[in-house]
């Protein structure tokens, strides 16, 4: 059996396991009271996926789901912010898979986290959002996910190992639980320098918010 076939079968098995985990997530999420703090509870650390200069004046933390259409929309806005505020903005990605409504939410997060094990998180992050419509609408997204891993020249044996590891789910669950503690119910949810943002309309509004923080 080829490495590609092994990966595809591995992803199929994970998809089945994801259904079980989704049920667990629903039960867990509904089992207790939720607060809605205005400030970020868990500070940015070496465990986070971070893009941008270390000492950037503004830190933008995003809780996101790769299959979420709104997340894909804001992905392009954030990319533009990174260009407009080059050297002044640091972006942090945290997983918040909405498994109740997005069947590939956890699997796509696993794909990204596994790519990250080989230093290609942000490259896979960009591929997933740029191609969201293709894999979201596919009856079986696993071949597409495998093709993205190949495109990034990942070690496929390691990729298969990592995507099946408990460490991957632990990281995703940790981000999700942090988000739940924040009272997050939908994606994307942004924090700017630790403060939760409300609904953002246009790009100009988003840019203005970042600009105000930079000029403080």
Query: The whole model's pTM is what?
Result: 0.84
Confidence of residue 13 (pLDDT cuts 50, 70, 90): low
The answer to whether the beta carbons of residues 67 and 38 sit under 8 Å apart is: no
**What values do phi and psi take at 198, rounded to 5?**
-85, -160
User: pLDDT per residue over 59-82, tens digit each?
Assistant: 999 999 999 999 999 999 999 999
Read off the pLDDT of each residue in 30-46 and give the average, rounded to a whole number. Answer: 68
What SS3 state is found at 46?
Answer: coil
Confidence of residue 199 (pLDDT cuts 50, 70, 90): confident
> What's the DSSP call for residue 52?
S
Q: What is the pLDDT of residue 201?
A: 85
Structural domains of the chain in order of their starting residue, each with its CATH number: 3-214 (3.40.30.10)
Token couple for 25: 């997530």
Confidence of residue 33 (pLDDT cuts 50, 70, 90): very low
C-alpha–C-alpha distance, residues 161 and 1, integer Å = 16
User: pLDDT per residue over 107-141, tens digit each?
Assistant: 999 999 999 999 999 999 999 999 999 999 999 99
Confidence of residue 86 (pLDDT cuts 50, 70, 90): very high
Token couple for 147: 């093709």
- The answer, yes or no, to whether residue 168 has pLDDT greater than 70, is yes
């Amino acid at each position: 059996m080829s490495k590609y076939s092994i990966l595809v079968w591995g992803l199929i098995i994970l998809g089945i396991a994801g259904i079980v985990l989704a049920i667990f997530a629903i039960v867990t999420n509904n089992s207790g009271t939720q607060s809605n703090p205005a400030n970020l509870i868990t500070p940015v650390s070496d465990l986070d996926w971070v893009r941008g200069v270390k000492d950037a004046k503004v830190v933008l933390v995003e809780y996101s789901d790769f299959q979420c259409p709104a997340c894909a929309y804001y992905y392009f806005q954030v990319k533009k912010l990174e260009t407009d505020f080059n050297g002044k903005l640091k972006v942090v990605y945290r997983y918040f898979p909405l498994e109740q409504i997005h069947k590939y939410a956890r699997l796509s997060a696993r794909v990204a986290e596994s790519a990250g094990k080989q230093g290609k998180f942000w490259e896979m992050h960009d591929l997933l959002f740029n191609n969201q419509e293709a894999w979201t609408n596919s009856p079986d997204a696993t071949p597409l996910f495998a093709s993205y891993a190949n495109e990034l020249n990942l070690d496929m044996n390691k990729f298969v190992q990592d995507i099946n590891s408990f460490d991957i789910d632990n990281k995703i669950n940790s981000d999700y639980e942090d988000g739940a503690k924040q009272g997050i119910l939908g994606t994307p949810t942004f924090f700017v320098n630790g403060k939760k943002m409300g609904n953002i309309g246009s790009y100009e509004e988003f840019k203005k918010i970042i600009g105000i923080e930079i000029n403080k």
